[in-house]
A and B are shown apart, each in its own frame.
Chain A
């Protein structure tokens, strides 16, 4: 049996190894993704993002538990990908999200994988999308992707996830933080965790005011100079319904409010189906994926053609302020004088 066949047959060690191959960007990993691609597209992808310490991992723990045990649906198989930052200096990382997920131990219907960003900004690692595809193909119905502790611009998760949860906690920043662009805008569901703490009313008020200010703007991304429209007219979908992000209060460590949160996720999932938004997002995600791959592949291909000495020479001229970064790029691409 090949590795891919073993993964499709539900072998967990094979899955773990394949995830490593994909994470490391090895040729076997890419080949496996090619083979697995027809098996993907079934899972519902839920993104969990928010500032450090808001309780994302505890929330993932409770969500996975609920989907496995609670509610009146058959237990769904849950995959978790938890991303933590790599050190920019040593490249090392402490991946500590599992500490909060110990309730999930021993359940064969749950598979948790930690990964480091390895230098990628935006809240995810470069290969997170590929790892999600592997889990999707391996038959996980629900894939929870937890981003690094995110602030204001780590919004890549909204491209990857079907449903994005933005987790807030009382006592973090004032109303101006809430109306800044970025992470709040990507929320399909706003979660106020630690809702037993003082200040929860103020946090809720700030978020609610922010939502009321929000116009139903087309959900699009400004990305690398071109605009990616995620949904052109969310207010004009066939059913005439508009998705307004609900604000839910939970206490993740106690499990309070989790049933309501799962309810909201299921409602959002239905909204995506009925409105056609799911397909639109899927198309957009696929396009982003293709663009990124194209860019990476072109750069990698170009790298093999460039002489290291020439590269260094241009770099040195730049350091000496003899050429600007833009001129340096021109010289490298045009193979200008070395």
Chain B
């Protein structure tokens, strides 16, 4: 209730937070979802046990700018490339993909090479993730024209 403002036209960062694969530990995903919400972003939370197809479909329907994945099952080297491929097939190569969970250090360079923007392990400060997401989105035209 201060300056005249046009809140409707404000561009919001839309993030899909998803847990691909079969592990049932969604605490990390929920903490990150909450942190991004508190940073003013719109977080589409999809819940546990999502297939790569479901995640890509959600990212498409929601016109997401960012997809945040949480994998603690060790299956990231199978799941993440598939999700990146599906996003590309759908014409969403501009969507920024972030990954959190238990990811061995030696996998990180390959994941980055594939197109993952950031990889975060346990204990990451949420402020770092928020900064990285903001920077990644502002550095591109995003998924939708401004």
Using CB atoms and an 8 Å cutoff, list the residues of chain A in contact with chain B. 12-13, 16-17, 19-21, 24-26, 28, 86-87, 90-96, 98-99, 102, 105-106, 111-114, 116, 118-119, 126-127, 300, 303, 306, 308, 311-312, 315
A28 to B145, CA, bound (A): 10
A98 to B54, CA, bound (A): 11
A94 is contacted by which of B10, B34, B51, B58 (Cβ under 8 Å)? B34
Interface secondary structure of A, over-half rule: mixed
Using CB atoms and an 8 Å cutoff, list the residues of chain B in contact with chain A. 2-4, 6-12, 14, 33-34, 36-47, 50-51, 53-54, 57-58, 60-63, 90-92, 143-146
B44:A95 contact, CB within 8 angstroms: yes
A112:B37 contact, CB within 8 angstroms: no
A98:B4 contact, CB within 8 angstroms: no
A90 is contacted by which of B39, B50, B145 (Cβ under 8 Å)? B39
List the A residue with the shortest CB-CB distance to B57: A105
Distance to closest chain B CB from A129 (angstroms): 12
**Chain B residues near A21 (CB, 8 Å)?**
144-145
A91 to B36, CA, bound (A): 11
List the B residue with the shortest CB-CB distance to A91: B40
Most chain B CB neighbours (cut-off 10 Å) among A24, A25, A92: A92
B8 is contacted by which of A24, A113, A114, A312 (Cβ under 8 Å)? A24
Distance to closest chain B CB from A135 (angstroms): 11
A98:B42 contact, CB within 8 angstroms: no
A130 to B58, CA, bound (A): 21
Q: List 5 A-B contacts (CB under 8 A).
A: A24-B9, A87-B37, A95-B45, A308-B3, A308-B4
Distance to closest chain A CB from B123 (angstroms): 23
